[in-house]
């Protein structure tokens, strides 16, 4: 059989290197001075400044993780932490500078805006450039603010919730780093009983060589409320290592529901070390929908802490690891209360030497009476030079449970290809159709334009592959 003729992914739409002026840049390397500069630039209250400094201390003391992807090439010090372009935060689209608008236009933001999304908080190189909150949201009492502003506008809430009860700087080294130099992100608060009809969307992008993305997303869904948040990101190709160490903290209060969708498409030289965690109270629901493409190396394990009785969590995700990529992802489901349930559907595709690893944790604590959990992992390998690894850990400390875990790995069968070709499809189209079918559960759960984007990404990734 002939070796496939591989074409590099055509990301021309994303490879936009605008000649945007960079107003301020922190010098290379991470030090107390840098952290103070960042805080000063943002005009932060002293408590946040102190929080950053404490986190820096923790970061400096912690060792690098010894498992997961290979981080030996990552040189954190040489990554410029903070860049602010000349535009200040905007209220309406028209006020945003031409260059920046163009970039977002090419990435599809205005269309999304036109499609009656509630609002767009967009991060451009560590700073929120454009932000628009629709009237109805404000009327309902929903807060949808960029994180920098939220720190000053709602200090009490932020002080109480920002990396205190959920993710903390002590969790691991990259979270500590994040805590010290975080910049930008989104704060969402949904009041009791309010159901936000339209998905809230944030869009951010790295553009300068060596710049890091350390955005912080904090969502608090009060009792009985509902909100769907979408994050999607992209970055152009650069030779200097890019680092993304973001953090997402979700609080699902009693009877509330948060849907958190992500399409990740970092450029192929990015280290994507993200931390996402949801704490779910009584009868609350968290749904994670995740499509991980791109990046050089990714470590991503959205965690759901089912703290209240009847809490539910669901994770539906696909990872696509192509040439030079190692995507190490998984989900953590921690059952701590009675009658909780969790469901994981993790699909992965590996091609051209890519490595796709699923690292999951399912933990049933001694008080998790009546827990129900299911995990389903499927790995699709498109050639014999790639890897698909599944490493689940299932820990059970209660007998009144119903737990099932299943994993399988394989390839597209010749029989399937023959069948589809007998109905007129070319071999490439047959493969593409099967892969599309493979990721369909994830596409189905995403809002339409994200599903379309994901299918488009997959098509690009597959193009050029022959048998």
Partner 1 sequence: MWKRVSMEEIQQPSYKEYTSAVIKNLSHDTVKIKETKKLAGLPTEILALRDKAFGIEGKFINMVRDFYNAGFHIEISQNSNVEKPIVIDYITNEQNDTLIDYNIIEAEANSQVTIVFDYNSGTKGFHNGITQVIAKEGSTVNIVKIQRLGDEFNDFDNNLVIVGKNAMVNWSNVVIGSKVSAFDVAVYLDEVGGTFTSKSIFLGVDSQKYDMAYKVYHQAPKTTSSVDLKGALKGSAKATFIGNIDIKKGAKKAKAEENETVLLLDKTVKSVAIPALYCGEDDVQANHSASAGQIDEDKLYYVMSRGFSLEEARLLMVQAILNPVIDLIPYDPVREIIIKGHIGRRIIK
Partner 2 sequence: MRETLLEIKDLHIEVEGKYILKGLNLTIKKGEIHAIMGPNGGGKSTLCNSIMGNPKYKVTSGQILFEGEDITNLKVNERAKKGIFLSFQYPEEIPGITVDNFIRTSVNIVTGQNVSMLQFAKEMKNTLELLDMNSEYRSRYLNVGFSGGEKKKAEILQMAFLKPKLVMLDEIDSGLDIDALKVVAEAVKKLKSEDMSILIVTHYNRILDYLEPDVISVLMDGKIVKSGDKDLAKILEEKGYDFVRNGV
Using CB under 8 A, list all residues that contact partner 2.
413-416, 418-427, 429-430, 433-434, 436-441
Query: Do the Cβ atoms of 286 and 315 come closer than 8 Å?
Result: no
**Residue 5 binds which of partner 1, partner 2, none (CB < 5-8 A, kind-dependent):** none
**Residue 382 binds which of partner 2, partner 1, none (CB < 5-8 A, kind-dependent):** partner 1
Looking at the Cβ atoms of 141 and 404, the one nearer to partner 1 is 404
386 binds partner 1, rule: CB under 8 A? yes
390 binds partner 1, rule: CB under 8 A? yes
Looking at the Cβ atoms of 368 and 445, the one nearer to partner 1 is 368
**Residue 259 binds which of partner 2, partner 1, none (CB < 5-8 A, kind-dependent):** none
**Residue 441 binds which of partner 1, partner 2, none (CB < 5-8 A, kind-dependent):** partner 2
Phi-psi region of 353 (alpha: psi -120 to 50; beta: other; left: phi over 0): left
Looking at the Cβ atoms of 1 and 116, the one nearer to partner 2 is 1
383 binds partner 1, rule: CB under 8 A? yes
Looking at the Cβ atoms of 62 and 409, the one nearer to partner 1 is 409
Residue 28 C-beta: closest distance to partner 1, Å: 37
Of positions 402, 421, 437, 466, contacts partner 1 by CB under 8 A:
402
Select the span of 63-71, 236-244, 271-279, 383-391 touching partner 1 (CB under 8 A): 383-391
Of positions 49, 159, 195, 405, contacts partner 1 by CB under 8 A:
405
Query: Do the Cβ atoms of 6 and 386 come closer than 8 Å?
Result: no
The position carrying tokens 């994770």 is 315
Q: Give the whole-angstrom CA distance, residue 225 versus residue 95.
A: 33
**Residue 323 binds which of partner 1, partner 2, none (CB < 5-8 A, kind-dependent):** none
**Residue 424 binds which of partner 2, partner 1, none (CB < 5-8 A, kind-dependent):** partner 2
**Residue 387 binds which of partner 2, partner 1, none (CB < 5-8 A, kind-dependent):** partner 1
Q: Give the whole-angstrom CA distance, residue 254 versus residue 309.
A: 9
Phi-psi region of 181 (alpha: psi -120 to 50; beta: other; left: phi over 0): alpha
Looking at the Cβ atoms of 137 and 381, the one nearer to partner 2 is 381
Q: Give the whole-angstrom CA distance, residue 284 versus residue 356.
A: 31
Of positions 75, 160, 197, 406, contacts partner 1 by CB under 8 A:
406
Looking at the Cβ atoms of 157 and 425, the one nearer to partner 2 is 425
SS (HEC) of 174-208:
HHHHHHHHCCCEEEEEECCCCECCCCEEEEEECCC
**Residue 36 binds which of partner 1, partner 2, none (CB < 5-8 A, kind-dependent):** none
Residue 342 C-beta: closest distance to partner 1, Å: 14
Select the span of 45-53, 157-165, 282-290, 391-399 touching partner 1 (CB under 8 A): 391-399
3 state DSSP class of 29: coil
Residue 461 C-beta: closest distance to partner 2, Å: 17
Query: Do the Cβ atoms of 336 and 365 come closer than 8 Å?
Result: yes
**Residue 71 binds which of partner 1, partner 2, none (CB < 5-8 A, kind-dependent):** none
411 binds partner 1, rule: CB under 8 A? yes
- Long-range CB contacts (within 8 A, 24+) of 442-449: 442/289, 442/290, 442/291, 442/316, 442/317, 442/318, 442/347, 445/261, 445/287, 445/289, 445/316, 446/261, 446/263, 446/289, 446/291, 447/199, 447/228, 447/230, 447/261, 449/108, 449/111, 449/112, 449/115
Q: State which H helix or E strand residue 361 sits in.
A: strand 355-364
How do beta strands 297-300 and 326-329 pair? parallel
Looking at the Cβ atoms of 36 and 403, the one nearer to partner 1 is 403
Q: Give the whole-angstrom CA distance, residue 67 versus residue 215.
A: 24
Residue 304 C-beta: closest distance to partner 1, Å: 18
**Residue 86 binds which of partner 2, partner 1, none (CB < 5-8 A, kind-dependent):** none
379 binds partner 1, rule: CB under 8 A? yes
Q: What are phi and psi of 77, to 5 degrees?
A: -60, -30
Give, in order, the Cα–Cα distances in Å from 190 to each of 121, 144, 314: 16, 9, 21
**Residue 416 binds which of partner 2, partner 1, none (CB < 5-8 A, kind-dependent):** partner 2
384 binds partner 1, rule: CB under 8 A? yes
147 token code pair: 């994180």
106 token code pair: 């090419």
Q: Give the whole-angstrom CA distance, residue 180 versus residue 331.
A: 25
Looking at the Cβ atoms of 227 and 432, the one nearer to partner 2 is 432
Strand ranges (DSSP E) for 77-211?
Answer: 83-85, 119-124, 127-133, 143-146, 185-190, 200-205
Phi-psi region of 432 (alpha: psi -120 to 50; beta: other; left: phi over 0): alpha
Q: How many residues bind partner 1 (CB under 8 A)?
A: 33
Which stretches of the chain bind partner 1, using CB under 8 A?
A: 366, 379, 381-411
């Amino acid at each position: 059989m002939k070796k496939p003729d591989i074409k590099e992914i055509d990301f021309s739409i994303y490879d936009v290197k605008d000649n945007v002026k960079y107003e301020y840049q922190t010098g290379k390397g991470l030090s107390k001075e840098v952290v103070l500069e960042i805080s000063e630039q943002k005009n932060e209250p002293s408590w946040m400044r102190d929080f950053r400094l404490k986190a820096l201390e923790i970061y400096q003391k912690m060792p690098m993780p010894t498992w997961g992807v290979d981080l030996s090439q990552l040189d954190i010090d040489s990554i410029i932490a903070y860049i602010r372009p000349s535009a200040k935060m905007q209220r309406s689209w028209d006020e945003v500078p031409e260059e920046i608008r163009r970039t977002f236009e090419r990435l599809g933001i205005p269309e999304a805006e036109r499609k009656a999304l509630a609002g767009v908080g967009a991060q451009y190189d560590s700073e929120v450039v454009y932000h628009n909150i629709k009237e109805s949201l404000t009327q309902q009492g929903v807060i949808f603010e960029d994180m920098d502003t939220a720190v000053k506008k709602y200090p009490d809430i932020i002080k109480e919730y920002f990396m205190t009860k959920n993710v903390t700087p002590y969790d691991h080294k990259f979270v500590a780093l994040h805590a010290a130099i975080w910049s930008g992100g989104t704060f969402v608060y949904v009041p009791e009983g309010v159901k936000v009809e339209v998905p809230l969307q944030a869009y951010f992008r790295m553009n300068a060589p060596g710049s890091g993305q350390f955005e912080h997303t904090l969502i608090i869904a009060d009792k009985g409320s509902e909100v769907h948040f979408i994050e999607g990101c992209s970055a152009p190709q650069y030779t200097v290592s890019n680092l993304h160490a973001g953090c997402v903290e979700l609080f699902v209060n009693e009877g509330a529901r948060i849907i958190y969708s992500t399409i990740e498409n970092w450029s192929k030289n990015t280290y994507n070390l993200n931390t996402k965690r949801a704490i779910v109270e009584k009868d609350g629901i968290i749904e994670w929908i995740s499509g991980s493409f791109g990046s050089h190396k990714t470590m991503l394990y959205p965690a759901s802490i089912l703290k209240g009785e009847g809490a539910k969590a669901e994770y539906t995700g696909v990872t696509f690891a192509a040439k030079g990529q190692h995507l190490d992802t998984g989900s953590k489901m921690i059952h701590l209360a009675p009658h909780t349930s969790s469901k994981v559907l993790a699909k992965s595709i590996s091609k051209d030497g890519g490595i796709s690893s699923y690292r999951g944790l399912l933990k049933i604590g001694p008080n998790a009476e009546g827990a129900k959990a299911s995990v389903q992992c499927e790995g699709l390998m498109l050639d014999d030079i790639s890897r698909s690894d599944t490493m689940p850990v299932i820990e059970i400390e209660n007998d009144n449970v119903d737990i099932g875990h299943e994993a399988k790995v394989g390839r597209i069968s010749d029989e399937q290809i023959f069948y589809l070709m007998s109905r007129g499809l070319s071999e490439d189209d047959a493969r593409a159709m099967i892969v599309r079918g493979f990721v369909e559960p994830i596409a189905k759960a995403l809002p339409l334009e994200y599903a379309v984007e994901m299918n488009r990404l997959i098509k690009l990734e597959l193009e050029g592959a022959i048998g």
